[in-house]
Amino acid sequence: MATFTHHHHGALLKTPLSGRARIPGSKSSPGPFRVRMSLQETGPSLAVVGVTGAVGQEFLSVIQDRDFPFRSIKMLASKRSAGQSLNFLGQNYVVEELTRDSFDDVDIALFSAGGSISKEFGPLAVERGTIVVDNSSAFRMQEGVPLVVPEVNPEAMEGIKVGRGKGALIANPNCSTIICLMAATPLHRHSKVVRMVVSTYQAASGAGAAAMRELEQQTHEVLEGKPPTCKIFQRQYAFNLFSHNSAVLPNGYNEEEMKLVKETRKYGLVSLVVFLSVRNDTDVKVTATCIRVPVMRAHAESINLQFENPLHEDTARDILKKAPGLVIIDDRTSNNFPTPLEVSNQDDVAVGRIRRDVSQEGNYGLDIFVCGDQIRKGAALNAVQIAEMLL
């Protein structure tokens, strides 16, 4: 039986759209009488940008769950959200409007307010000496900006630490890229991936809290025989699926697919070796197809891997069992494999359907199926893990 760490969120400004499923044998967070150690005079000062959004709220949940130490925290959002009251760790905070002066005396800022906001305010924060961990696509492909998954390439952040009086930008990869690389990287370290084909099945949470609410609303409307409200995706989402809603580029790929391709290859992210030598493994071939599915939160991905060196499926299974941040759900007898519902609100990425690719000779190909919480490991958890490495 796979065991996850399960999280109960505190009293935050949250929508009730978690899509949470209780996993038998899962570990629950301690109850409300636990003494929290997060507020510490020796901790860094934090700011959460986009705090009223789905990922912004998850930032707070992860900070709470992991007892991330901080001496102060600013809750920042747009002018429209400013003035809202938010209870966090038993204290009431007022959401402040994001301005040029918001980052005075802020050590770490967690951004999830969209690319345009990050481009405008991220560099301003860095100028004030703040280390920015950005969840948007604004800086991911920018030269000199580390694109980091802590389990994959922590060395990319070498030299960036709180207390050195110097600001910096660190980019969170796209959620699909993070979930994919959590499983692909341990296998690559063993046998070197030369080609990867990824098909993603992406939840409403990837488009934000409004999309989650619309999926719930449409489900009620369709079941009641009413025409569905289609504001976010301009089409029926409930009981349907469609190509990812990002713009389609001249090459026929959409923007989400190209994010996965480019981010996986940036600095040889899968291979890790570029940070240790002058070698750059951008010869890893990657292609992707991204589909939006009517799931509340947590993405699923079918991944086909081709290796330079043979890798038996049993060896692959052992490698994945030992890899940090992964849990194996691969029971062929009972046909039990990862699902988005059971990884919702979980930290670990689930891996299953581990099998040899029969279209390739020998053990040079492997198929796996992964599921991970898009808001958590695909965004907020990864960012907070990066922040932990800054201390």
DSSP string for 63-119: HHHTT--BSEEEEEE-TTTTT-EEEETTEEEEPEEP-TTTTTT-SEEEE-S-HHHHH
DSSP state of 346: B
Residue 26 to residues 1, 73, 211, 333, 346, Cα–Cα distance (Å): 10, 31, 28, 22, 10
Q: Which residues contact 338 (CB under 8 A, 6 or more apart)?
A: 300, 329, 350, 351, 352, 353, 369, 370, 371
Copy the structure tokens of residue 185: 């990287």
Copy the structure tokens of residue 132: 């920015």
Strands of the chain (E only): list them: 45-49, 72-77, 85-88, 91-94, 96-97, 108-111, 131-134, 168-171, 193-202, 242-243, 285-292, 299-307, 326-328, 349-356, 365-372
Copy the structure tokens of residue 287: 């292609």
Q: For the chain, what is the total number of helices (H) and then of strands (E)?
A: 8, 15
Copy the structure tokens of residue 275: 């940070």
Question: CB 55: neighbour CB atoms within 10 A?
Answer: 27
Dihedral sign from CA coordinates of 269, 318, 357, 4: negative
214-229 burial: b if 16+ Cβ within 10 Å, else e: bbbbbbebbeeeeebe
Distance of CA 202 to the CA centre of its chain: 12
Dihedral sign from CA coordinates of 251, 234, 18, 44: positive
**Distance between CA atoms of residues 2 and 219, nearest Å:** 31
**Distance between CA atoms of residues 111 and 123, nearest Å:** 12
- Residues tagged active-site: 175, 299
